[in-house]
Amino acid sequence: MIIFGLNFGPVVAAAPALIDGLWLTITISFAAIVFGGSVGLAAAVGRSLAPRRLKWPVDVYVEVMRNTPLLIQLYIIFLGLPALGIRFSPIEASIIGLTINTGAYCTEIFRAGIESIHRSQIEAGLSLGLSRLQVVRYVVVVPAIIGVWPALVSQFILLTLASSVCSFISLEEISGAAYTIQSATFLNFEVYIVIGAMYLLLAAGLKSLLRLVGLYSFPGPSRRSLKKAMPSATAVRAQL
């Protein structure tokens, strides 16, 4: 299989390893989306409910995570913590690293969503006789999530792409599998073209899927605004 002088035959023959890698990428990304999203939501809601002088732990967490590379965070977890007697397998370290990293970005996104809810909405909710918890849930959190859904989708796509860095701590996800294949076949350029295409498809698939999740899991009236708000291109941010 030679296209434009590039030999894809042996790469296609290595498809099973790539498919395994793809599954691993999907697994760790999914875990990090669920856990990181939860961490972000909890941190953002906690921060908004906390008194002013207790907001700093969340701010420190967010700033530290967002201003250091994911790679170094993974190194600290996978290579640094064992020195203190805490050991993780590559997949555990990857999921923990991606979770705390994405959690920080999600905190910022949810915080923006929560801050966009006007005070009068909360007062209206309370005057309707909703309890404080009900106000937090129905007036603040749910509308905030709907409002920031497009930003979250972009964040989750960036996370999936960033998970390629987990190959640095010897996880055999797509990039790790690619590295193994290229060192066995020497068809380095071809391998990376193939996995580049795989990532493109994965990102496009994830975007459509999350868009559908947004459209079908949110209550009726908010759907129309969500359709409008969905960006046609990925967000103008990159994350690692």
Answer for the pair 153, 210: CB distance below 8 angstroms, yes or no. yes
Binding residue for another protein (CB under 8 A) from 12, 50, 200, 212?
A: 200
- How many whole angstroms separate alpha carbon 45 and alpha carbon 91? 29
CA distances from 183 to 27, 96, 189, 204, 222 (A): 25, 28, 11, 29, 50
Binding part of the chain for another protein, among 38-46, 143-151, 191-199, 222-230 by CB under 8 A, reads 191-199
Query: What is the pattern of x (binds another protein, CB under 8 A) and - over residues 85-124?
Result: ----------------------------------------
**Cβ 208 to another protein shortest distance, Å:** 13
Residue 199 binds another protein, judged by CB under 8 A: yes
Query: What is the pattern of x (binds another protein, CB under 8 A) and - over residues 142-181?
Result: -------------------xxxxx-xx------x--x---
Amino acid found at 220? G
- What phi, psi does 7 have (nearest 5°)? -100, 105
Bridge partners of residue 232, in order along the sequence? none
Residue 205 binds another protein, judged by CB under 8 A: no
Binding part of the chain for another protein, among 41-49, 78-86, 88-96, 129-137 by CB under 8 A, reads 78-86
Bridge partners of residue 7, in order along the sequence? 2
**Cβ 127 to another protein shortest distance, Å:** 32
Site for another protein in 8-37 (CB under 8 A): none
Site for another protein in 34-73 (CB under 8 A): 63-64, 66-73
Binding region for another protein (CB under 8 A): 63-64, 66-73, 75-76, 79-84, 161-165, 167-168, 175, 178, 182, 188-189, 192-193, 195-196, 199-200, 203-204, 233-234, 236-240
